[in-house]
Structure 1
Amino acid sequence: MSATSGVKASGVQTRTFVAGGALLLAVALPLLLPDFGVTLLGNIGIFSLVALGLVLLTGVAGSTSFGQAAFMGVGAYTTAILTTRLEWSPWLALLAAFGMTALVALILGAVTLRMSGHYLPLATIAWGISLYYVFGNATDLTGGFTGLREVPPLSVLGVQLTSGRTYVYLILLIVILAAVGVQNLLSSRTGRAIRALRGGSVVAESFGADTYWLRIQTFLVAALLACLAGWLYAHFWRFVNPTPFGLNIGIEFLFMAVLGGSGFVWGALLGAGAITLLKNWLQDILPALFGQAGSYETIFFGLLIILMLQYSRRGLWPILDRLVPPRTPKVFGQAPLLSARSKPANGEEVLRVEHVVKQFGGLRAVNDVSFTLHAGEILGLIGPNGAGKSTMFNLVTGVNPATSGRVVLRGRDVTKLPARAISRLGVGRTFQHVKLFPEMTLVENAMMGGYARARGGLLASMLHLERRDEASLQAEALREIERVGLRDQAWNQAGNLPLGKQRLLEIARALVADPALLLLDEPAAGLRYHEKQELATLLRKLKAEGVTILLVEHDMDLVMNLADRLVVMNYGEKLAEGTPAEVQRHEGVREAYLGGVA
């Protein structure tokens, strides 16, 4: 065994030992704690489910929500009403609670998730307050602020869970299963797309993901986890009133996610435990310290979160996680090859841009530009900074719609299609400003490029049923990473790469999409001389394999020796078109772009 293998094996053993110890502690605690401690443990487990949803929704997907306590209330009130007034089985009431929560979440999500910036959290505050007052004022149905009593206990295999100690085991089992499901999701094709949402929608859409639907799905999962917490809460306490579902509790849930580690699944459990225990202790200590009753713990939590954001923005979990050896990468074995796209015949028209105009207010970034690109060609799109080249890329790939004119891809008008639809037609791209996910490994970044080539959805990912697709995507990603010369760093985080190699990784990610048309925006920026030569060799090889390339590049030596034809843009207009030799002789190009130098 090599030294590296020994270190990895040691890391696996250490993490397995820690996980086993945590599991044994969870099993032992309900037996060892006094009754009040068992009650606190039950609350920690219930609150962990809500915090887990916030890790997914806010920490990973970047959609801040203050209203998760309201979804918990929907679950609690649905089961309380159905079991006390209609005498339903609690398990049947759980299904009804999921249905009711899903309906409310889909309606609210459809309205609010199109918002961005501070508007989204403000909207969640608004509907969170609204649902709280619905719970309190629908007196005939919910019992008003007095609430509903005598909620029946749960029964499992004919055994009623009337004891808090036995009930806590059910809570812990559900929390562990939910955490494993969310962890599986985040390690999947769908999870990588969800993680991409935090940096905006451009990258995920450019590789075939419907980002709005992903946000809805994430919002729905977080709401259902809160609903499950509410169902457990109602049958744990056997009493429901609006107090635990107000805005202040929603803020506490967000505190739990942030304190534990908003981007980490197991941080949700850590944060829920820390906030719940601190709140209990502070409610005893602070009134005695100040000599009068009051919610002083809220002040303490506010200061704690400020300090946390100042000195450890990723929360407590990463600090603890560093104390054990790093995780070993999940490497799949032999995998079936992904189906390859049929490439256009040599000489076939792949792309036609007809009189395209793009106007931003009073500025025409692209003005009446036309050109064609045929299979087996490398077409260079050159021009000074601000000439409109990257805007043209965005028009071709659907990131921005053209104001007028047409973009035709292999005979199909794609002018009005969104980026995700154009990507699925065989278009891959890189970006002028590198858009990678720095906390993901090189392999995970590259696998994002194959999003449209796999089929595993959200539920299959949570149940870990997408392993076949994942294995194929990983194998494809490793092949493309090797082609760009980064195989020895495949399991490192992308954020640790220098800029030039990050651009190579972007090319590998685009190649995993198996494009017929590849758009490269300044791929040689930041590369050293020999790396540029290797890039040129790679692009020639791709051309020989049937990949058509549209290239924006400022390195004139590279582009003149590589491109079959050039289109020159200046001030948003096409200045010239022809072979590299013809363009170099063009008087207007020499004057406007090359400064009059031959």
Structure 2
Amino acid sequence: MDKRRISFALLVLAVAAMPLAPVPELWITNLNYIGLYAITCLGLVLLTGVAGLTSFGQAAFVGLGAYTSAYLSTAYGLSPWLGLLVAMVVTVSVALVLASITLRMSGHYLPLATMMWGLSLYYAMSNMDFLGKYDGILNIPGLSLFGWRLGSGRSFYALIWLIALAAAVGVARLLDSRAGRAIRALNGGVTMAEAMGISTYRYKVKAFVIAAMLACTSGWLFAHYQRAVNPSSFSLSKGIDYLFMTVVGGVGSVWGAFSGAALTKILEDQLQVLLPRLFGGNGNYELIVFGIILVAILKYAPLGLWPYAERWLQRHLPPDRRHRDWGSATALETRSKPTPGELLLDVRSVRKQFGGLVAVNDVSFSIRAGEIIGLLGPNGAGKSTTFNLITGVLPLSSGDVMFRGAKVSGQPSREIARRGMSRTFQHVKMLPEMTVLENVALGGYTRSHAGVMQAVLRLDREEERRLFLEAERQLERIGMKDQIHELAGNLALGPARLMEIARALCTDPALLLLDEPAAGLRHKEKQALGQVLRQLKAEGMSILLVEHDMEFVMSLTDRIVVMEFGTKLIEGTPAEVQASPAVRAAYLGTEH
């Protein structure tokens, strides 16, 4: 057992021992609320911190869980445990409807939309007669577990913290999985994730629904712990409080949810006592202090407070490296390989207009299996736009793209990736907080199947071993095996570009597309990259290489397509292209 697991076991023992110790009842009450808040904040860690989707509406889902169970148990005498099941069904249904409306938004529209439906649900709960309007629902029955009545704060404490710690373990397991890597990829923009075959909208919905389910669970516990509910506990201001707790603790950290909830609850209690003494009279002075604290944290600790605690822990309890337990795993399945000379890619008169600007004008070329084709041209020639048209990042204005005999134009990039076309990016796209190995394993997404529940229940471990075996094999293939445990964000530009190539190779492509892989590299880094591409060519890999550095690709390519001002200038062998006066004019501005 590594040191982190030992520390977690000690934490569980400390939490379990708390109600047995002779501590004041107020401590137990505060710990209960900290546990309830942390469950909701865990959903925000996943949704906002990891997936990058800011939500102010989590309190509304807490209210759905609380009110659904409270109403059913008081009006119909339904068991609170069945009430939890019904509340989950209601919450997931509402979350799916709201997700379909709001998650296609981006920028500031998404958080504004979460505010609006948060307010809508709050006022709906506040104005329904059968829910007691602003008075809410009273005399909610408590919980019983195996005949043991959870009547006091101490007896409820065990259930709250059992669920809170189980939720934390579940979220941590989820993030360390195929589905978790897909959710992490949402925060860096959807282009890279879609290029790896990931349906980014589907994973946004999954993160949204999981966060709603955690909030619902917290609300159910809250209703039967408090034995009364009213709308004020689920207002927009409470939704802001949950987000505040998560940001203060560490919006990207599982344990930040607990530290943020604890700090906020303790500060709230202490400030409500101290501030009136300092300023005299009664008032919500703590809100002013909380605002100042939030501004200070956003400025000086934008990742929250937990990362600082984590650095201290790493000095005293350094985490063990991921054990290399995948050596005996079986290899992932591979797709059928094209026969040498088979027509892989056929680009037919593709055209792209942005309003009145024609960026790509009826460009045609083809690639056969085993070839390396260079797509060259000076800056602004339309190379990357053509590249994005081929890979589905941009829609065509006209023309067709055929891949292995099937039309792929009009298909989203994730579908094109699933067919065996993989790419890198002009500007390296990676997840800097993950290791090199995990970044490359993301490329194996379409070759694996485990979902959220398998990850939470740890039923995905064999598939994970197979993914890491494949990622290690691809890193060894490009000469980066010694850096598999390095954080990707620590890599220099040259190794980062090689890592992107390894990630693309992990998809088992029939055609590899490289978008200016030599851009920004020093001479020796270009030499290393060239050697990798020669090795891939020797292994039979087909490559489309988009570049503006003619010298770099001359010794690598079989044929070169040169573009200028969005049109195809010439196509031929490297020697023919070098000898072309038109190419010299395009690059040097003169034919002489």
TM-score normalised according to structure 2 size:
0.97
Residue 148 of structure 1 is matched in structure 2 by 137
Q: 1:97 aligns with which of 63, 87, 99?
A: 87
Residue 52 of structure 2 is matched in structure 1 by 62
User: Are the equivalent residues in 2 in contact too, given 1:152–1:238 (CA < 8 A)?
Assistant: yes
Residue 316 of structure 1 is matched in structure 2 by 305
Amino acid at match of 2:120: S
Q: Deviations over 1:428-464 (max 9, x none)?
A: 1110011111111101110111111110111211222
Matches within 5 A, 1:330-409: 330-331=322-323, 332-333=325-326, 334-409=328-403
Taking the aligned partners of 1:269 and 1:219, their CA distance within structure 2 comes to 20
Residue 177 of structure 2 is matched in structure 1 by 188
Taking the aligned partners of 2:434 and 2:12, their CA distance within structure 1 comes to 28
Q: 1:508 aligns with which of 499, 502, 506?
A: 502
Q: 1:257 aligns with which of 229, 246, 256?
A: 246
Taking the aligned partners of 1:294 and 1:131, their CA distance within structure 2 comes to 28
Q: 1:34 aligns with which of 11, 24, 37?
A: 24
Q: Deviations over 1:452-477 (max 9, x none)?
A: 11101112112221111111111111
Which shifted more, 345-354 or 280-289? Answer: 280-289
Q: Deviations over 1:148-177 (max 9, x none)?
A: 111111111121111210111111010111
Alpha-carbon RMSD across the aligned residues, in angstroms, is: 1.4
- Report the 3-state secondary structure (helix = DSSP H, G, I; strand = E; otherwise coil) of the residue aligned with 1:416: coil
Taking the aligned partners of 2:436 and 2:404, their CA distance within structure 1 comes to 32
- Report the 3-state secondary structure (helix = DSSP H, G, I; strand = E; otherwise coil) of the residue aligned with 2:133: coil
Percentage of identical aligned residues: 55
**Given the alignment of the two structures, is residue 164 of structure 1 paired with residue 158 of structure 2, yes or no?**
no
Taking the aligned partners of 2:68 and 2:238, their CA distance within structure 1 comes to 19
Gaps of 5+ in 2: none
Residue 100 of structure 2 is matched in structure 1 by 110
**Given the alignment of the two structures, is residue 518 of structure 1 paired with residue 509 of structure 2, yes or no?**
no
Taking the aligned partners of 1:297 and 1:109, their CA distance within structure 2 comes to 34
Q: 2:483 aligns with which of 489, 497, 509?
A: 489
Residue 191 of structure 2 is matched in structure 1 by 202
Taking the aligned partners of 2:30 and 2:232, their CA distance within structure 1 comes to 17
Q: Deviations over 1:552-586 (max 9, x none)?
A: 12332321111000000011110000111111122
Which shifted more, 360-369 or 110-119? Answer: 360-369
Which ranges of 4 or more aligned residues in structure 1 deviate by more than 4 Å? 594-598
Residue 582 of structure 2 is matched in structure 1 by 588
Residue 449 of structure 2 is matched in structure 1 by 455
Matches within 5 A, 1:558-573: 558-573=552-567
Amino acid at match of 2:303: R
Which shifted more, 323-332 or 573-582? Answer: 323-332
Amino acid at match of 2:387: F
Taking the aligned partners of 2:16 and 2:377, their CA distance within structure 1 comes to 67
Residue 5 of structure 1 is matched in structure 2 by none
Matched residue pairs, number? 586
Residue 81 of structure 1 is matched in structure 2 by 71
- Report the 3-state secondary structure (helix = DSSP H, G, I; strand = E; otherwise coil) of the residue aligned with 1:464: coil
Q: 1:540 aligns with which of 508, 529, 534?
A: 534
- Report the 3-state secondary structure (helix = DSSP H, G, I; strand = E; otherwise coil) of the residue aligned with 2:320: coil
**Given the alignment of the two structures, is residue 280 of structure 1 paired with residue 269 of structure 2, yes or no?**
yes
Residue 321 of structure 2 is matched in structure 1 by 329
User: Are the equivalent residues in 1 in contact too, given 2:188–2:430 (CA < 8 A)?
Assistant: no
User: Are the equivalent residues in 2 in contact too, given 1:98–1:227 (CA < 8 A)?
Assistant: yes
Which shifted more, 22-31 or 558-567? Answer: 22-31
- Report the 3-state secondary structure (helix = DSSP H, G, I; strand = E; otherwise coil) of the residue aligned with 1:306: helix
Which shifted more, 74-83 or 471-480? Answer: 471-480
Which shifted more, 227-236 or 524-533? Answer: 524-533
* Superposed displacement of residue 480, structure 1: 1.1
Which shifted more, 526-535 or 184-193? Answer: 526-535
Taking the aligned partners of 1:477 and 1:300, their CA distance within structure 2 comes to 48
TM-score normalised according to structure 1 size:
0.96
